[in-house]
Amino acid sequence: MCAAGRKALYEVSRRLAKVALGEEAADLVVKNGTLVNVYSGELLPNVDVAVADGRVAYVGNAEYTIGAGTKVVDAGGRYMVPGLIDGHMHVESTMMTVTEFAKAAIVKGTTTVFMDPHEIANVFGSEGVSWMHEEGRALPLKVFTTYPSCVPATDGLEDAGAALGVKDIEEGLAWQGVAGLGEVMNFPGVVYGDPKMKGEIEATIRAGKTVTGHFPSDDGNMLQAYIASGVTSDHETVTREQGLAKVRLGMHLMIREGSAWQDVKEVIKVITEDHAPTGNITLVTDDVYPQTIVEKGHMNHVVRRAIEEGVDPVTAVQLATINTARYFNQEQDLGAITPGKCADILLVDDLKQMVPSIVIADGSIVAESGVLTAEFPVYEYPEQARRSVNLARPVEPADFLLKSRKYAETGAETDNSAAAGRTRVKVIQVIENSARTGSRVAELAVENGVIQPDAAEDIVRLACIERHRGSGEISLAFASGFQLSKGAVASTVAHDSHNLLVMGVNEEDMAFAANQLAECGGGMIAVLDGKVLARVEMPIAGLMSDKPLDEVVVQVRELEAAWKQLGCPLNAPFMTFSLIALPVIPDLRISNRGLVDVTTFQLTEVEQ
């Protein structure tokens, strides 16, 4: 079906045939375009497209299908590109609701997304997923859901606001518009036969739907076991070698280009240098910020990046259209401009730039010259969605002081390093534009029994506060790589359990930042000397703003500037920060339960 509430192909096939035969007039004819044919790989000039009931009826010289009531659009030789499809993305990462995201994406030429709402699932479970799913079903943008598979992402290492089991997945897979299982992040659980993971994958296969994956490991044996267990794709590929190995094994390779995780430059080499067949490869965004969509684009930006790296433009379009439709078993409706399919058509002046001047979705013009022309319904989230930050009490500066086990406040000595007022600690080392982290060991001072940060050595305090049930649980650690020299930052966006993350140079600012977010219902904040430098309020599950796109973009830009004011030079620093709590990607992470060694999937001590 083209979208919620619209007619399926079998309902309109007879009329499409009549239009193709000239027995009835088309609703819309796009004349004189250069068709990007994703089936043959050709650019075909002087082509018309006739549309009826939201679907393509005829491709060729369609002059005879024009009647008195037919709307005619002259393409003027512009390229006619199928509407772009994002095969893996998290709407919550845009900081906007599904509706506001749709408004931003559709003007850039994205007409379909397959969203994995596992962020809200970790806060509100199946109920939260249903809110976003239903919101998406009513929009001009086609929104399919891949039902979240790992809520929480791991067992025994963190505490989310909800948990989903096999029964939840079975029920969710039956919802109209659910296309498959969301990224299966617990790959060790899959490989070693965890009953929950096994049950979810089997339920998806029985339902005839797609099992999407998440495999950030270089272990070749585990990769093959993962594929053999039923998972069919991966978007965590960061090297050419990883990509080629997956292509060779028949795994669907999703090449990611988001705001922080930018993998096209390296992974696209499987096409440009290894000359691998492209039919089992797609382009995705995964996580993208609002200002990236506004300033660079959405899927059109990813297609453009592939072209910039040497991919033929028509091939790049295939990677974001027909290949994605096929992977999710939606080729009957999506992915090409051909009879029977949904009439999702972009008119593009320059194929290499991929900036649509007109966007047509289901046969209706929804955007023109970068401006929306379609109406979008209003979706109201329930009040419950705005009550997700629940702390046991306001936090205090002392809550962020990590005491040394080796050197107590009394000065009692247990070893030579402690006697000298120094101790060795594990530090989370972040990597710019990477979802991965490193692990380093540093020697830090101990004063009055408290391990001290060292901003001069780029080592700052880090905390994760349980925020769903008000348990009062706070874990403490250290982070490096952000280059903060003053102040503090905090976020209730903390993948994937979304507890309250706080990081800073001094504990007073850390406490202030955490309490400010708790008061406004969540979001992201940067503070200095007890004053708010910038804040993006996200009262919906602590993950999404309730403000329009333009306002969110301004707030995010202010937040970026505030991070820089605190000393951080990184690209998209708050996205890197938000993933510092994700205990499914190596090497070292923090959860509300403590420091997590992801190479062993075990909690580990900060102090060595």
CA proximity to 542, closest of 510, 515, 520, 560 = 520
Of 154-158, 250-254, 523-527, minimum mean pLDDT range: 154-158
Is 416 a residue whose pLDDT tops 70?
A: no
Q: What is the mean pLDDT of residues 366-375?
A: 96
Beta strands in 38-141 (DSSP E): 42-52, 55-60, 71-74, 79-82, 84-89, 110-115
CA proximity to 81, closest of 141, 23, 30, 124 = 30
pTM (two decimals): 0.92
Which residues are CB-neighbours of 369 under 8 A, at least 6 positions away? 357, 358
CA proximity to 30, closest of 54, 62, 67 = 62
Whether residue 123 contacts residue 388, with contact meaning beta carbons closer than 8 Å, is answered with: yes
Other beta carbons less than 10 A from residue 449's beta carbon: 18
Q: What is the mean pLDDT of residues 86-104?
A: 97
Q: What is the pLDDT of residue 434?
A: 82
Domains of the chain: 83-340 (3.20.20.140), 384-604 (no CATH)
How far, in Å, CA of 203 to CA of 205, rounded? 6
The most distant pair of C-alpha atoms in the chain lies apart, rounded to whole Å, by: 94
- Structure confidence by residue, pLDDT tens digits, 418-463: 444 899 999 999 998 887 899 999 999 999 999 999 999 999 999 9
Decide: helix, strand or coil at residue 189. Answer: helix
- Structure confidence by residue, pLDDT tens digits, 46-87: 999 999 999 999 999 999 999 999 999 999 999 999 999 999
Mean pLDDT estimate for the chain = 95
Q: What is the pLDDT of residue 408?
A: 62
How far, in Å, CA of 291 to CA of 276, rounded? 33
Decide: helix, strand or coil at residue 178. Answer: strand
CA proximity to 356, closest of 345, 343, 341 = 345
In the Cβ-directed half-sphere of 290, how many Cα atoms lie within 13 Å?
29
- Structure confidence by residue, pLDDT tens digits, 477-498: 999 999 999 999 999 999 989 9
Q: What is the DSSP string of 469-486?
A: S----EEEEEEESS---S
Q: What is the mean pLDDT of residues 210-218?
A: 95
Is 1 a residue whose pLDDT tops 50?
A: no
How far, in Å, CA of 497 to CA of 122, rounded? 5
How far, in Å, CA of 26 to CA of 64, rounded? 9
CA proximity to 533, closest of 573, 493, 481, 488 = 488
The set of long-range contacts for 218-223, using a CB threshold of 8 Å and a minimum separation of 24, is: 218/242, 220/245, 222/187, 222/188, 222/191, 223/249, 223/251
- Structure confidence by residue, pLDDT tens digits, 522-560: 999 999 999 999 999 999 999 999 999 999 999 999 999
Q: What is the pLDDT of residue 2?
A: 47
Q: What is the mean pLDDT of residues 320-325?
A: 98
CA proximity to 347, closest of 27, 53, 78 = 78
Q: What is the pLDDT of residue 412?
A: 46
State which amino acid sits at residue 351.
Answer: L
Within 477-548, residue ranges assigned H as helices are 507-520
Q: What is the pLDDT of residue 591?
A: 96
pLDDT level of residue 5 (50, 70, 90 thresholds): very low
Is 281 a residue whose pLDDT tops 90?
A: yes
Q: What is the pLDDT of residue 464?
A: 98
Whether residue 351 contacts residue 313, with contact meaning beta carbons closer than 8 Å, is answered with: yes
How far, in Å, CA of 317 to CA of 302, rounded? 10
